[in-house]
Every structure is written in C-alpha cells, then in structure tokens.
Amino acid sequence: MALTDEAIEKIKQMIISGRVRPGEKLPREADLAAELGLSRNSLREAVKALSLINVLDVRQGDGTYATSLAPSLLLEALSFIVDFHRDDTVLEFLEVHRILEPAATALAALRMSPEEQAELSKLLDAATADSPIDDFVAADLEFHKKIAIGSGNSVLASLVDNMSMPTVRARVWRGMTQPHAQERTIAEHRAICQAIMSSEPELARSWATVHISGIESWLRTALAN
C-alpha cells in the first residue's frame, strides 16, 4: 500500500471509529502524524486528497476539520465524474436513472408532506408545451428533483440528481425532434403527481418507470438511425 493510501485509510478509520466526529477539528499536524505513525508529508497528501472529496475541510489559519459528512456533500465528487461522461454513455446513465428514480418516486408517495405535495403540484404549471425547450427541460428537471428530495432519502436524492445531469442534452434533443414530446411529458408528470398525492407508491413507481423508459427508448432509436 502506498504511503498516502495508508495515511488516507488511517484518517478514515479515525472518523469511522468516532475518534473524530463530523464537524470536529483534527489534532494539529505534528500530533496527528505521531499518533498515526505517519510522516508529515504523507499526512499532508492524505489531507489534500480527502479535502478534494469533501471528507475534510482545511481552514487556513485555523486547522483541519471533518466535514458534516452529509451524503449530498460527499456525493458532490460523483458529479465531477459525471461531468466527464461521453455522449455514447448517456444510455448507461439513463439505465441507472430508470432504476433509481422509480424507487425515489415510490418513497415520495409515502413520505411527501402536504406542503411538499402542493409545491410539486405547482411545478406542473411551470412550463407548457409551447414553452422554449430550454425552459421546459429546466422545469422538467426541477419536477424530478422535488420528487427525489420528497423521498426523504438524501443519498437516493443526490444519486438521482447526479444521474439526471448527463441526460439534459438528450431531453432537449427529444423536445426539438420528437412530435408531441412535451405534451407526453406533461401528461406523465400529472399522472406521477396524482399517484404521489393519492399515496399510491406502486402506481407512482410504475408511472415513473414509463416516463424514464420513454426517454430511453426514444434515444436508443435516435442513436440507431
């Protein structure tokens, strides 16, 4: 194991064991290096790496802290990876999206508060079939983000949000080229919303699956031509 990898593992174990809790300050560098049996250079490299993935927060003039370790914060590193996707991997992202989003939608049907349901309902009118396609897709993404948050599972919500980003161009392309794509999207959104507001998780899951599968099916056909 490389020295930096060993240092990363030892700091990780400190946090997992509760030696350092989320939000707490790590011991000063010299003391921490001695405690972990590491060189100060290896420790610095490990701290740098862990700060890049939001596990540690280095505050100049103050010290190094464990972050809140909230899933949304830790999963920000995933968005960096997602940004480097290639066009030929969009279908793979859609496949993952088709697995995750229906699950989030089913949970939202069980967990969304009346206030969250009212906000979701308002989003149905955020764009119409005649809206500019960029505005329409932005409203579409916001609708799905609200549902993911409504699942009450922050890990799932962050994953759904990250998996949505690579599909934006495909959604715009579909809106520009497939007849009545916006009308179909609006109708499916209303069906999903109604299932959530009626607290019918399996119906909500089914409509979400139909919705995502429609985009995926269209893109497979478009890429094959």
Average pLDDT over residues 161-177: 79
Identify which has the larger pLDDT, 79 or 7.
7
Tell me the average pLDDT across 119-145: 92
Residue in 172, 192, 176 with CA at minimum distance from that of residue 124: 192
- What integer pLDDT is reported at residue 221 of this predicted model? 84
pLDDT level of residue 120 (50, 70, 90 thresholds): very high
Model pLDDT for residues 32-70, shown as the tens digit of each residue: 999 989 898 989 999 998 888 888 999 988 999 998 887
Q: Is 196 found in the same domain as 148?
A: yes
More confident residue, 76 or 112: 112
- The reply to whether 104 and 50 lie within a common domain is no
* pLDDT range class, residue 124, cuts 50, 70, 90: very high
**Is there a single domain that holds both residue 81 and residue 58?**
no
**Within 10 A of 61 (CB to CB), how many other CB atoms are there?**
4
**Within this chain, do residues 79 and 42 fall inside the same structural domain, yes or no?**
no
Judge if 104 and 16 occupy the same domain.
no
Range of the domain at 33: 3-69
Looking up residue 45, the CATH number of its domain turns out to be 1.10.10.10
Handedness of CA 183, 189, 195, 201 (dihedral sign): positive
Nearest residue to 208 via CA among 158, 162, 130, 144: 144
pLDDT over 60 (residue 83): no
Interval 111-140 mean pLDDT? 92
Cα–Cα distance for residue pair 59/104, rounded to 1 Å: 36
180 in the same domain as 128? yes
Q: What is the mean pLDDT of residues 108-137?
A: 93
The per-residue pLDDT for 167 is 76
Task: Give the per-residue pLDDT at 121.
Answer: 95
CA–CA dist 168, 134 (Å, integer): 9
**pLDDT of 136 higher than 80:** yes
| Cβ burial, residue 73 (10 Å; 0-12/13-18/19+) | middle
Which of 54, 69, 84 is where one domain is finished? 69
Q: Report the pLDDT averaged over residues 132-142.
A: 91
Domain match, 39 and 81 both: no
- Residues 73-83 have a mean pLDDT of 61
CATH number at residue 162: 1.20.120.530
pLDDT the model gives residue 148:
95
Mean pLDDT of the chain: 87
Predicted pLDDT of residue 6: 86
